[in-house]
Amino acid sequence: MDTKAKPFLSKNNPLKVELVNRESFSFRYLLPDYWFSWIIISLSFFLIYLPKPLRQLIGSSIGSFIKYSNTKRSHIVMTNLSLCFKSKTAVELKKIHNEYFKNLGNTIIDMPSLWWRSDKSLQNNCEIINEHYIDNELSKGKGVILLTPHTVSLDFGGRSISRYPIISIYKPFRNKLLNWFIGRSRSKDTDNSIVYPRDNLSFKKIIKALKTPIIFYYIGDEDLGEKNSEFANFFDETKSTLISITKIASLSKATVIPCINHYSSSKNKYITYIDQPLTKFPTGHLSDDAEIINRAFEKLINRNVEQYMWSLRLFQTRPNGQKYPYSK
């Protein structure tokens, strides 16, 4: 049995990959091992029809439950905040910490809308700011690398740009049923997209595709070790920073445009903010490129600090043998 994860793709996709090669439903998902997952999936359908105030109440409660029950995750969040904002007081850090979990819970409750609703319906809940930066580059026949950090609402960012031809990456779930069910929503029938599992991705194909007017939606803020990384400042701490994007941009001549997604309570929408394209990038010096990438991320994250994904192990790779920061 082939257990290697496959891409999710729409019939019309940028690489013209046949549908037979996509991740698909398996009858083994009907076995008892998956029955609890089916209950969760069924309940998620009814969640999307609850009134917004009730969903927010449930979401905040879920966020609080995660904060108090998952002490390990809560510790990671506080550690990251303490390292990144060394001038802030303990009270200020705790406020961001609490707001993060509240936002996380609210987004968890909103996620089922991505799974069940049509793209047309979802676009009513999304907004893009500075979309012209993307359009300008694509109109020149160039590819665009949308460089984004993790936020709690990352998937809404991908959905907001669905009118474009898109290549992206996903991290497969261990639960095969949930991986199929959730993954298929990232590439709906009306899209022009292909979403590769990150362990089954051909960068050669992406580089070739980016020589044409398409978008590569790339999440580039994780700490994945020292390979393809450079140490650079991230807020007030040194971070192992991915510089794979440097090689891709250099070989494809694609334009790198930073962006971020967050929820706006005043607009009741998920906002994708597109920043100005990076200029003179790559520089030819990997350490300088890493600094540019992190400055771009900092600028975007500061638009709504509480919605960044602070529960990632951002500093697990340490320079010069420094102590692992997440030990209690």
Delimit the domains of the chain by residue range: 28-321
Which residues in 34-72 are b (16+ Cβ under 10 Å) and which e? beebeeebeebeebbeeeeeebbebbbebbeebbeeeee
Residue-wise pLDDT for 64-119, tens only, equals 999 999 999 999 999 999 999 999 999 999 999 999 999 999 999 999 999 999 99
Q: Which residues of the chain have pLDDT under 70?
A: 1-2
Residue-wise pLDDT for 153-181, tens only, equals 999 999 999 999 999 999 999 999 999 99
pLDDT computed for residue 199 by the predictor:
83
Instruction: Give CA–CA dist 320/238, Å, rounded.
Output: 11
Task: Specify the pTM.
Answer: 0.94
Torsion sign, CA atoms 179, 149, 9, 11: positive
CATH class of 28-321: alpha beta
Instruction: Give CA–CA dist 272/120, Å, rounded.
Output: 17
Tell the burial category of 15 from Cβ atoms under 10 Å away from its Cβ (0-12, 13-18, 19+): middle
pLDDT computed for residue 200 by the predictor:
80
| Mean pLDDT (the chain, rounded) | 95
| Helical segments of the chain, H only | 35-47, 52-69, 71-84, 90-116, 119-123, 132-139, 154-160, 176-184, 203-209, 244-252, 286-301
pLDDT computed for residue 2 by the predictor:
56
Torsion sign, CA atoms 269, 146, 24, 209: positive
Instruction: Give CA–CA dist 19/21, Å, rounded.
Output: 5
Instruction: Give CA–CA dist 33/39, Å, rounded.
Output: 12
Instruction: Give CA–CA dist 315/162, Å, rounded.
Output: 32
